[in-house]
Amino acid sequence: MANNGSGSSLGPGGLDLTNTFFKPILNSDPPIPSNRCTKVSVIGVGNVGMAIAQTILTQDIADEIALVDSKPDKLRGEMLDLQHAAAFLPRTRITASVDYGVTAGSDLCIVTAGARQNPGESRLNLLQRNVALFRHIIPPLAKSSPDAILLIVSNPVDVLTYVAWKLSGFPVNRVLGSGTNLDSSRFRFLIADHLDVNAQDVQAFIVGEHGDSSVALWSSISVGGIPVLSFLEKQQIAYEKQTLEDIHQSVVGSAYEVISLKGYTSWAIGYSVANLAYTILRDQRKIHPVTVLARGFYGVEGGDVFLSLPALLGRNGVVAVTNVHMTDEESEKLQKSAKTILEMQSQLGL
């Protein structure tokens, strides 16, 4: 895409702020120019996969959607159900197959397939079964669409994004996970609900593991451009840290509550992933908290660990990681979250 001239400089002499706000992704390949139709493949046609496909379809994000699943009857049924709505939707070609050849030439491959936890099954055993499943999914995807971006939604998303990166051989900028993008949306909703404002006017991030060790970045929250905590302190308005922690715990427990009430989550993750697809495929260069290779960022060391950080996304996948403000306490919690994920990865033998 040609530069429109707005640039990233301020004032006479052109002070370049790009490298100040963002830290580039190392060893990434250059952007790929493309004038052809946009194709998205969704692997797994369960509740989450179909919510994603349906949202992408209604938002006119792709010219072609390919569906893949191991259950041929359900797969064909889902394809026909969407095709029969053609008169009410943007013109989109919808295909489906148990053969990964149907995904050939995809711009974006979204993986939602995953094994369900059996009663009494350990988290590690479930993870190992999902890794075995990914060995049958990722290599054929990478072979059929060598220039695609892989977006992992299957849980545990942080570890499985690492697995997808290893199995695909893709550069790190073209493998990411849905991470805490939805967690952050829930976070913004709860803050907006407390303040009675629109959630779109709230800037707030949950980072780290998509799970119990996630970190709420309270120090960088702003509403309408006003930093919340520093404003309260300046106005000498007291607040309790426990209140903040209760909001964070509500975010962590949100998915569990939905699952306990309806049996699964689907619509919110569908909108979340479709939003990521839009940002990537339309080269919107928006900042999303998604699962990326975190080594070297915010003091995270010890190995190739994937976890959620605020990242700048575009047509080439992960463009950069945002240098968002963190307190020492938040940084320590993030590094602890990274260690939690690394411990899980160390048991995979990849």
Mean pLDDT of 159-185: 96
pTM of structure: 0.87
Residue 290 phi/psi, 5-degree rounding, is -130, 165
Q: Does residue 210 have an active-site annotation?
A: yes
The residue assigned the tokens 């059929």 is 144
The gap between the terminal CA atoms of the chain, to the nearest Å, is 37
CA 5 to chain centroid, in Å, comes to 30
For 18-71, the DSSP string reads: HHHHEEEPTTPPPP----S--EEEEE--SHHHHHHHHHHHHTT--SEEEEE-S-
For residue 12, name the pLDDT band (cuts at 50, 70, 90): low
Express each pLDDT in 58-98 by its tens digit.
999 999 999 999 999 999 999 999 999 999 999 999 999 99
**CA-CA distance, 158 to 183, in Å (whole number)?**
14
Residues 84, 136, 194, 210: which is the catalytic one?
Answer: 210
Residue 222 phi/psi, 5-degree rounding, is -135, 150
Instruction: Catalogue all structural domains in the chain, each as residue range(s) with its CATH number.
Output: 35-177 (3.40.50.720), 180-346 (3.90.110.10)
**CA-CA distance, 152 to 66, in Å (whole number)?**
16
Q: What is the DSSP letter of 231?
A: H
pLDDT at 2: 39
**CA-CA distance, 342 to 216, in Å (whole number)?**
20
Q: What is the DSSP letter of 206?
A: E
Structure tokens at 131: 């890794």
Express each pLDDT in 221-244 by its tens digit.
888 888 877 776 666 665 666 777
